């Protein structure tokens, strides 16, 4: 009898979470297949790229966290925040407004960013060549805005199947260009960065045409998005000081081999982000909706599920890192395993921080997000400077893990304080 009751409960739970399971399957399949494609390609990339190639690509990629938020101005966060608060016609008008803003606004900021990097290279006497790597790096960031916007729109609509198709197409096209430009033509760092940019160009054209229903620009939406997004954009730019500034601090050490190994480890550890991306794609709309409906217990439960399911594969990777790194690099860069183990921990602390960041955005606390990042940046810079001076490249790896842990702790502190103040205010009134 108890067995039948348990079986009935399982069926009931399955029906309750059937939508989650189905959508999660599509999100995971899209991200997982993309990861598998990259994992298959990784050994061939390792065979056709030198320490210097990895050092160059990793160095320029590190600027993404600094420049991407200002180029996109986090307009997509504004769209996510208001999606469930608007009717269909308002959503369409907002979508069109953001798409147009992403063209002219982001293009102008991209040009300014390119000039800024050039001045930095001149002032700091950076040893790596500026052109064409900086141009490719900025172009990829600009073009990625449209692809990312399309994915977010599909997530919010809960069109998991279309999300899967788009993700898979992007992964396949990117793999084609990697094989052509890195493995066949042997273009090294130039081929790798070009292969990352070209697919985004085609998808930017497709996504813009697919999403823009009419050429309309709502000035009110745009001005309101600027007010909402500038703290988030500035806060996101500060992410550079948690996962990108380490490369800028390590470059003056002049050890190209170690920097190459470090960037190999960064690349391999980044594959683990597929789990958090999948979970975020599955649960983010529900987290935002639970906040909009003031269901705090549901919000906490969803974040707990995200963290648990994200941590398990990361811990398994840490245990088997030497073997996995050897397989992924044809045993050419096995010395990167220790770096990869440490950097894998960053995916756990980063996942916790971004979950808390989603909650802050859901509550409309964009300025608190900025204050949190400013305080965290000061602490992070101190950590990186101390750890790199004491432990070199290993210190930089630990700095990434600790910096995001600091951010997560500050986010929780600010959130709980704000909610407590709101509760006191409600009781008084």
| Residues sharing a CB contact under 8 Å with residue 227, sequence separation 6 or more, in sequence order | none
What are the phi and psi torsion angles at 255 (to 5°)? -100, 90
Helices 219-237 and 88-124 cross at an angle (nearest 10°) of 40
pLDDT digits (tens, 9 = 90+) for 91-132: 889 999 999 998 888 899 999 999 999 999 999 889 899 999
Give me the pLDDT at residue 8, please.
54
Sign of CA dihedral 337, 341, 342, 344: positive
> CB-based burial of residue 38 (10 Å sphere; 0-12 exposed, 13-18 middle, 19+ buried)?
buried
Taking alpha carbons only, the member of 238, 243, 232 closest to residue 73 is 232
- pTM for the structure as a whole: 0.76
Measure Cα distances from 5 to 1, 10, 18, 165, 168 in Å. Answer: 6, 9, 19, 39, 41
pLDDT (average), residues 201-229 = 88
Other beta carbons within 10 Å of 269: 26
Taking alpha carbons only, the member of 265, 236, 245 closest to residue 385 is 245
Distance CA 409, CA 416 (A): 11
Q: Cα 11 to chain center, whole Å?
A: 36
Residue 338 scores a pLDDT above 50? yes
Pull the structure tokens for residue 149. 């916007």
Give me the pLDDT at residue 11, please.
55
pLDDT (average), residues 331-347 = 91
Give me the pLDDT at residue 4, please.
46
Residue 386 scores a pLDDT above 90? yes
Distance CA 412, CA 359 (A): 10
Comparing 12-21, 241-250, 287-296, the range with the smallest average pLDDT is 12-21
Give me the pLDDT at residue 398, please.
93
Residue 347 scores a pLDDT above 50? yes
Q: Cα 80 to chain center, whole Å?
A: 16
| Residue 9 or 132, more confident | 132
pLDDT (average), residues 383-401 = 92
Helices 160-178 and 18-48 cross at an angle (nearest 10°) of 0
Other beta carbons within 10 Å of 8: 10
pLDDT digits (tens, 9 = 90+) for 281-321: 677 777 877 877 777 788 888 888 888 888 898 999 999 99
Indicate the pLDDT class of residue 394, thresholds 50, 70 and 90: very high
Q: What percent of the chain shows pLDDT beyond 70?
A: 92
């Amino acid at each position: 009898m108890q067995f039948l009751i348990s079986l009935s409960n399982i069926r009931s739970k399955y029906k309750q979470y059937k939508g989650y399971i189905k959508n999660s399957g599509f999100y995971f399949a899209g991200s997982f297949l993309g990861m598998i494609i990259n994992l298959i390609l990784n050994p061939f990339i390792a065979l056709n790229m030198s320490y210097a190639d990895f050092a160059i690509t990793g160095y320029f990629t590190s600027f993404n966290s600094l420049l991407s938020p200002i180029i996109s101005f986090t307009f997509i966060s504004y769209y996510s925040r208001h999606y469930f608060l608007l009717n269909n016609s308002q959503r369409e008008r907002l979508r069109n407004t953001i798409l147009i803003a992403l063209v002219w606004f982001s293009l102008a900021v991209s040009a300014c960013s390119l000039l800024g990097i050039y001045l930095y290279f001149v002032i700091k006497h950076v040893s790596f060549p500026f052109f064409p790597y900086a141009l490719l790096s900025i172009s990829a960031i600009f073009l990625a805005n449209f692809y990312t916007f399309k994915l977010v729109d599909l997530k919010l609509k809960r069109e998991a199947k279309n999300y899967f198709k788009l993700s898979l197409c992007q992964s396949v096209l990117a793999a084609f260009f990697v094989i052509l430009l890195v493995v066949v033509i042997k273009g090294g760092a130039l081929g790798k960065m070009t292969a990352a940019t070209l697919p985004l160009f085609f998808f930017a054209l497709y996504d813009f045409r697919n999403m823009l229903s009419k050429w309309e620009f709502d000035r009110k939406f745009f001005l309101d998005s600027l007010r909402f997004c500038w703290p988030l954009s500035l806060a996101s730019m500060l992410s550079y000081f948690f996962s990108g500034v380490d490369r800028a601090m390590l470059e003056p050490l002049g050890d190209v081999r170690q920097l190459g190994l470090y960037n190999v480890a960064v690349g391999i550890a980044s594959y683990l982000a597929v789990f958090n991306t999948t979970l975020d794609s599955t649960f983010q709309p529900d987290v935002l909706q639970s906040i909009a409906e003031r269901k705090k217990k549901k919000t906490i439960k969803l974040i707990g599920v995200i963290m648990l399911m994200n941590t398990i594969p990361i811990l398994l990777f840490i245990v088997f890192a030497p073997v996995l790194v050897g397989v992924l690099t044809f045993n050419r860069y096995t010395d990167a395993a220790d770096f990869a183990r440490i950097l894998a921990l960053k995916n756990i602390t980063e996942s916790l921080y971004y979950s808390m960041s989603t909650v802050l955005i859901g509550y409309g606390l964009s300025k608190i997000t900025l204050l949190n990042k400013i305080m965290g940046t000061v602490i992070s810079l101190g950590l990186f400077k101390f750890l790199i001076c004491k432990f070199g490249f290993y210190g930089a790896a630990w700095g990434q893990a600790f910096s995001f842990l600091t951010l997560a702790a500050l986010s929780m502190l600010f959130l709980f304080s704000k909610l407590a103040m709101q509760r006191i205010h409600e009781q008084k009134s």
